[in-house]
């Protein structure tokens, strides 16, 4: 295969890896968001901890893989992204740290202040992660102030109406996913409380997605692909329709169908973004000459070939492990039997 063909393959894989991460971590982050809203005592906190305990670490493997794939397949993109979005990436790392620490350490001590601190560390970081991811990817669609000397803006230049709206889209979608996951995995009062949240979050997510797409087609740099090839509008249209289907399934109390629907919504939303970006990876708002594409930022041909072979071997192993873990922990969790995490 030629270098250009390999670069295209890795762009697709890059998008797929990020999308899988968004889908899988959406429900565990969403569970963290609603944690203080649906738990009223230690037993119920144990219940929600156990709801995501066996899965969240495996889900974050995809985040590590996404970062590694960016570094190895598109080193120029990795270098520019992590320098341009340095403050945002640092905040993301802190949120990841406190999210894991909050979940792991919440009940390691009976001191109420200890438990309260780590409960809120877990919850706040669960909000921060989708917000930061939404802001980061919205800026990739919107375009960065990339010039001759790299990124020429500041951290606060990344915070504008369009990027913040992207963060809110992620929060609403992830909250919906988390509430539905809690309902699928549990019995008891946490289920009824989560249902109320799902009925609120799903319509908010659909409305936010609609507004985000209006902004995307009017403000972002990825609208060009859609205007040039109108058939591509099927991706955002499908995203909107599936988000509405999620609302329908929730109000019909078809929770598993609603959860599948919100996962497909996240997939379609991600596909819309990556389709619009192609072949760009980092778009410059200053001059297109400074944009990084999959062609001018990819690694060597030998490097991409070797990575492709490793991916073909390792990705099925990761998928197999995760399927096994979901099969092993498929039993519903009751309040009395929950042991926490």
What are the pLDDT digits (tens) for 151-179?
887 888 888 999 999 999 999 999 999 99
Tell me if 334 is assigned to some domain: no
Nearest to 272 by CA among 243, 235, 240: 235
Tell me if 199 is assigned to some domain: yes
Q: How many domains does the chain have?
A: 1
Residues of the domain holding 107: 3-328
- Give the span between the Cα atoms of 32 and 96, in whole angstroms: 12
- Give the span between the Cα atoms of 74 and 55, in whole angstroms: 29
Please give the biggest Cα pair distance in the chain.
62
SS3 299: coil
Q: Quick check: 9 and 295 in contact, CB under 8 A?
A: no
149 pLDDT band (50/70/90 cuts)? confident
Report pLDDT for 173: 97
- Give the span between the Cα atoms of 56 and 28, in whole angstroms: 6
| Tokens 């062609």, residue located | 295
Least confident segment among 146-160, 171-185, 193-207, 241-255: 146-160
pLDDT tops 70 at residue 32: yes
- Give the span between the Cα atoms of 336 and 44, in whole angstroms: 9
- Give the span between the Cα atoms of 78 and 59, in whole angstroms: 21
Tell me if 340 is assigned to some domain: no
Nearest to 138 by CA among 173, 156, 164, 157: 164
Tell me if 89 is assigned to some domain: yes
Report pLDDT for 156: 85
Mean pLDDT along residues 227-249:
95
Query: What are residue 151's DSSP bridge partners?
Result: 146
Tell me if 341 is assigned to some domain: no
Tell me if 336 is assigned to some domain: no
């Amino acid at each position: 295969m030629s270098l250009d063909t390999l670069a295209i393959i890795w762009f697709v894989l890059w998008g797929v890896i990020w999308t899988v991460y968004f889908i899988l971590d959406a429900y565990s982050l969403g569970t963290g968001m609603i944690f203080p809203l649906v738990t009223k005592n230690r037993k119920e906190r144990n219940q929600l901890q156990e709801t995501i305990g066996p899965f969240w670490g495996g889900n974050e493997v995809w985040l590590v893989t996404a970062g590694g794939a960016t570094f190895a397949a598109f080193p120029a993109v990795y270098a520019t992204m992590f320098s341009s979005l340095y403050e945002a990436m640092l905040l993301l790392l802190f949120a990841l740290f406190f999210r894991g620490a909050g979940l792991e350490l919440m009940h390691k001590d009976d001191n109420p202040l200890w438990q309260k601190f780590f409960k809120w560390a877990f919850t706040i970081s669960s909000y921060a992660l989708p917000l930061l991811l939404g802001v980061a990817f919205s800026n990739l669609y919107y375009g960065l102030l990339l010039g001759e000397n790299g990124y020429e803006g500041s951290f606060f230049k990344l915070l504008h109406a369009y990027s913040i709206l992207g963060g809110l889209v992620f929060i609403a979608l992830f909250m919906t996913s988390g509430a539905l996951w809690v309902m699928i995995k549990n019995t008891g009062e946490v289920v009824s409380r989560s249902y109320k949240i799902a009925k609120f979050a799903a319509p908010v997510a659909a409305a936010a997605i609609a507004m985000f797409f209006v902004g995307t087609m009017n403000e972002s740099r990825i609208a060009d692909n859609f205007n040039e090839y109108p058939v591509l509008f099927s991706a955002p249209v499908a995203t909107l329709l599936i988000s509405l289907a999620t609302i329908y399934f929730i109000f019909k109390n078809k929770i598993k169908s609603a959860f599948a629907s919100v996962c497909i919504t996240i997939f379609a939303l991600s596909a819309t973004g990556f389709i619009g970006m192609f072949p760009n990876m980092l778009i410059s708002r200053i001059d297109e000459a400074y944009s990084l594409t999959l062609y001018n930022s990819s690694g060597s041909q030998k490097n991409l070939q070797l990575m492709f072979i490793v991916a073909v071997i390792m990705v099925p192993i990761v998928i197999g492990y995760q399927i096994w873990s979901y099969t092993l922990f498929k039993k519903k969790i009751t309040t009395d039997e929950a042991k926490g995490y």
